[in-house]
Amino acid sequence: MTVREMRCGLGRLVFGERTLLMGVLNITPDSFSGDGLLVGPDWLDRVVEMGRRMVREGADLLDVGGESTRPGADPVPVEEELRRVVPAVRALREAVDVPISVDTTKAQVARAALVEGADLINDVSALRFDPEMVRVVAEFGCPVVLMHMKGTPKDMQHHPQYQDVVAEVRDFLWERIQWAEARGISRDRIIVDPGFGFGKRPEHNLALVRHLKVFRELGCPVLLGPSRKSTIGVLLGGLPPLERVEGTAAMVALAVAFGVDVVRVHDVRVMAQVLRVADAVVRGWRPVG
Ligand code: HH2
């Protein structure tokens, strides 16, 4: 497997040696996964504590989000998203030395976070929701995650339909890569994500995992975020999000087998172990360092 480096803030992300683990920090009161940290006056302390813990447990990067994208969610006003994300990035920048990603579709939030020391932008709209976003990413020269979503979080689960989900998601991502490149974002800064759970039924999500290699052929590292999502609950007879850890583990291990580069997860300690074992099978065993 080819090893590739991506400059990321003061550090770098190395893809291809082992699967990278992105830990999710939701600065929200309403995330679907049940882990939203925006509760009570000491929320910022809890964000820092959680961020530190995730790094200790094996997170290679952290993904900070101030707006839930769960199905049916209303957008958060930009002032509120800034109030959540900016202090969190500032405090985490002091507390941890792994790259910090910001999960936002808003250019103003991305810019403010990058100024505070964030290293990459995770845009679930693939630079479509805010016309300024592409300029911010190009100006800072930071890595960006381009994710596929059908519709918006508000309506994406209203009967999503595809003729061929894998081909449609691949074509969408290819179009977004070319669109971003034409606007000054170099290909070697782009990570693609088929968008597990974003405008997809369970059978669509399963097909995307099974065909992850198709997305690798786009020439960019591939990220997947199956953690605690409803497809896993459906497969397990309706288990709620906090009881989907084992199901997530199975999905993560298979994503490794099918060629994923980065997994975005809530349960860092457990998934770090899953990755170590799955990577040993898929990429070859290396002693614990
Ligand atoms: N999933 C969520 C949010 N951001 N970003 C990428 N690139 N890929 C994903 O699959 C993805 C994402 C949804 O998970 P979570 O952040 O835990 O929930 P919520 O949006 O409700 O806060």
Residue 288: predicted pLDDT: 67
**Number of separate helices (H) and strands (E) present in the chain:** 10, 10
At 154 the pLDDT is: 78
- For the chain, the distance separating the N- and C-terminal CA atoms, rounded to the nearest angstrom, is 21
Residue 289 is predicted with a pLDDT of: 61
pLDDT of 1 over the 90 cut: no
Average pLDDT over every residue of 12-41: 89
Secondary structure E strands in 100-245: 100-103, 120-123, 144-147, 190-193, 223-224
Ligand 1 mean position to 285 CA, how many Å?
30
Look up residue 240 and give its DSSP letter.
Answer: -
What is the C-alpha R_g of the chain?
17
Closest ligand 1 atom to residue 28 Cα is: 22
What's the mean per-residue pLDDT of the chain?
Answer: 94
Decide if pLDDT at 160 tops 90.
no
Let me know if 264 is a catalytic residue: yes
The C-alpha atoms of residue 267 and residue 63 are separated, in whole angstroms, by 13
For 254-273, write each residue's pLDDT tens digit. Answer: 999 999 999 999 999 999 99
| Mutational test site, ligand 1, from 25, 33, 63, 103, max ligand atoms within 8 Å of CB | 103
- pLDDT confidence tier of residue 215, bands split at 50, 70 and 90: very high
Look up 200 and say whether it is catalytic: no
